[in-house]
Amino acid sequence: MEYRIERDTLGEVMVPASSHWGAQTQRSYENFKIGIETMPLEVVHGLTVLKKAAAIANNKLGKLSDEKCKLITEAADQILSGEYDDQFPLKVWQTGSGTQSNMNVNEVIAHLANDIAGENIIHPNDDVNKSQSSNDTFPSAMHISAALLLKGKLVPNIIEFINTLERLEKENEGIIKIGRTHLQDAVPITFSQEISAWRSMMLANLEQINSSIDGLRKLAIGGTAVGTGLNAPDGFSEMVCDILSKETGFEFKSKSNKFHALTGKDALVFSHGALKALAANMMKIANDVRWLASGPRCGIGEISIPENEPGSSIMPGKVNPTQSEAVTMVAVQVMGNDTTIGIAASQGNFQLNVFMPAIIYNFIQSTVLLADSIKSFNDNCAIGIKANKDKMSYFLENSLMLVTALNTAIGYESAAKIAKYAFENDLSLKEAALKLEILDEATFNELVDPSKMV
């Protein structure tokens, strides 16, 4: 491999000739060979669009020449196109402020800008990082990447799933089945009512996530190193946020208290709490689906789901609820991530939190996993759910809990006597009621009507 010499304040560094990064990126690449987790590209692109906005703001405020502004924005656009995604190799497990990833972006932008210019006129610190520090750019990029990913990927997939559930709800209106509590038979419910719970859960999660995004709109940019704004010109923060809003189509605002913005990560904790709530609901829905589809002959079998792939390497013809299993694994991963984020966010010391790469890595992972798994579950399972009306009817007709309808007519204890007698003697409720001479057939038929119980 061929190398070139790059320099920083610590001296000379050998950098692969084909790379577009500089000395500080190379030092981090060599010094933090920890794990396989690299900084998410969503964060890299968040930093990049922030650098573009900062260059434009610096130019408008008279701090950066027209030529340098143009070169930086052109280089940033090249990165945002995805053309140079391989130029950001740094691990998550680096400095807790994200300084090295900030410099990675600064160096690649500077290198590309100088390639465009044909000469070295853009400096990664003096020009690309002008009016900034890692301490305000990295937390700003965390909010930018999180907000855009939630709004651009997760929210649309939740809405698509809600639409599927709404269709299923309408298609299954009037189908009465037995309800279940404690994994035991309960009183009747319609299948559409059961589905309505799933739909309502997703609507609630959607509202919670959208509410949490508002906190992510507020950015730390302009706070520089400790929140005082030293080296940032007046109006810089507000101008950057206005430019970012135009660039992304998403409204960002300057956080009023920059000291809070640099050291506190509560907005991300709050937002991830909404993701944990979504994970909990998806776990419940996925479990409901695989229980209801269990069988095909020795389980509940009230619904059928698409058969996507063989389920066993030894049992021919076996098909498993694999989409539900994927969702439930994602759910527990998100719950684990929530613990990591909560603990990491509690570790801010004085004017900075130095667990930021871990926080945003887990946040991005949770968002991507939930978005992808919900879409996969919707496209490969939910859209193909079919009710097994015969099985639902069988369980309904044989359930002892229909006796609940007799409570108001004969009292709880007499109704319980009928249910216990029916169970112990393998009789229907009607047969038991007649045998015990508690009710006549006509009265029983009038009172025990599942259609009146839902």
Which residues are marked as active site?
Answer: 182, 312
> CB neighbours (10 Å) of residue 203?
15
DSSP 195-220: HHHHHHHHHHHHHHHHHHHHHHTEE-
Backbone φ/ψ region at 295: left (φ over 0), alpha (ψ -120 to 50), beta? left
Backbone φ/ψ region at 105: left (φ over 0), alpha (ψ -120 to 50), beta? alpha
For residue 100, the 8-state DSSP code is: H
DSSP 127-180: IITTT--HHHHHHHHHHHHHHHHIIIIIHHHHHHHHHHHHHHHHHTTT-EEEEE
Given a contact cutoff of 8 angstroms between Cβ atoms, the answer to whether 387 and 303 are in contact is yes
Q: Report residue 228: phi and psi, to 5°.
A: -80, -15
CA–CA separation, 3 and 92 (whole Å):
25
Cis peptide before 156 (omega within 30 of 0): no
Residue 186's Cβ-side half-sphere holds a number of Cα atoms within 13 Å equal to: 9
Nearest alpha-carbon partner for 241 in 231, 253, 229, 250: 253
DSSP 230-294: TT--TTHHHHHHHHHHHHHSS--EE-S-HHHHHH--HHHHHHHHHHHHHHHHHHHHHHHHHHHT-
Q: Following CA atoms 345, 268, 108, 48 in sequence, which dihedral angle do they give, to the nearest 10 degrees? A: -150
Given a contact cutoff of 8 angstroms between Cβ atoms, the answer to whether 252 and 241 are in contact is yes
